[in-house]
């Protein structure tokens, strides 16, 4: 079968990365977690004191962007993606709450988006990529053969994110997680630069009430519609 590109967009904690990873493994494609790249730039901004409490000094970040190198690598041992910031493995740190609480502010910065979109487009040139994010079907890979727009209720999403964080030993409350999700949904949908919107040609996948297995089966049936 000739390779296609698959774009998965949707709200935070809809299970986009779970689906994207599963799919990539099943069909032998490369998985690209674009959100990890925005998280890595956020960590860079935090470490360089570009945030005063929750407020980002955009000008400082833009002036330092040339010093940020974000790279995604695949670890065959754990069969997962690792995010590198200037050659340091930051995979664990970028998933924690301090980064989650600040990443939307970094993701609204036009210069950051331009830089990361360019890198993401390079990764998709040879096709055979499953990429998840917010603007993948609309901006990064508008020519993707299959576009999926994922959604689930805020409560279901918050529970999933809470379970994930607790499994990693983070102590956070359900209220804190749902507030963070709703806040990010709002910023993602209303920002001027590449807001989260459903591409006209995307298939909608609401996974509030279906299992991971059912979801995978459904998406594989969509993939099988492409000529082999």
Interface residues with ligand DC (CB under 6 A) are 12, 34-35, 38-39, 103-104, 107, 133-136, 184, 188
CB of 129 to ligand DC, least distance (A): 13
* Distance of closest approach, residue 83 Cβ to ligand DC, in angstroms: 10
Is-contact 29 23, C-beta < 8 A?
yes
Report in angstroms how near the CB of residue 4 gets to ligand DC at its nearest.
Answer: 19
Phi-psi region of 214 (alpha: psi -120 to 50; beta: other; left: phi over 0): alpha
CB atoms under 10 Å from CB of 176, counted, come to 15
Q: Which is nearer to ligand DC, 20 or 219 (CB)?
A: 20
Shortest approach of ligand DC to residue 117 CB, angstroms?
8
Residue closer to ligand DC by CB (options 138, 215) is 138
Angstrom distance (rounded) from CA 108 to CA 58: 10
Q: Which is nearer to ligand DC, 141 or 226 (CB)?
A: 141
* CB of 92 or CB of 226, closer to ligand DC: 92
Q: Where are the alpha helices (DSSP H) in 71-211?
A: 97-107, 110-124, 154-167, 174-190
Residue 77 to residues 73, 120, 123, Cα–Cα distance (Å): 12, 24, 22
Cβ burial, residue 41 (10 Å; 0-12/13-18/19+): buried
Helix crossing, 97-107 with 174-190: angle to 10°? Answer: 10
Between residues 133 and 219, which has the closer beta carbon with respect to ligand DC?
133
Nearest approach, Cβ of 104 to ligand DC (angstroms)?
4
Closest distance to ligand DC from the beta carbon of 32 (Å): 10
Rounded Cα distance, 94 and 43, in Å: 7
Closer CB to ligand DC, residue 36 or residue 219? 36
């Amino acid at each position: 079968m000739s390779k296609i590109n698959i774009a998965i967009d949707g709200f935070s904690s809809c299970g986009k990365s779970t689906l994207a990873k599963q799919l990539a493994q099943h069909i032998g494609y490369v998985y690209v977690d674009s959100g990890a790249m925005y998280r890595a730039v956020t960590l860079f901004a935090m470490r360089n004191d570009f945030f005063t409490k929750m407020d980002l000094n955009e000008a400082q970040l833009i002036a330092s962007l040339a010093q940020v190198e974000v790279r995604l690598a695949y670890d065959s041992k754990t069969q997962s993606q690792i995010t590198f910031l200037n050659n340091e493995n930051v995979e664990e740190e970028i998933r924690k709450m301090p980064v989650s609480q600040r990443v939307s502010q970094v993701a609204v910065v036009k210069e950051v988006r331009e830089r990361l979109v360019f890198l993401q487009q390079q990764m998709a040139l040879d096709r055979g990529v499953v990429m998840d994010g917010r603007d993948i079907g609309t901006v990064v890979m508008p020519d993707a053969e299959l576009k999926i727009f994922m959604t689930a209720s805020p409560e279901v999403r918050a529970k999933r994110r809470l379970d994930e964080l607790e499994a990693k030993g983070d102590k956070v409350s359900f209220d804190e997680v749902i507030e963070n999700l709703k806040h990010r949904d709002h910023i993602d949908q209303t920002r001027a630069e590449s807001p989260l919107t459903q591409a006209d040609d995307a298939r909608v996948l609401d996974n509030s009430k279906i299992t991971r297995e059912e979801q995978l089966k459904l998406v594989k049936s969509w993939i099988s519609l492409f000529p082999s």
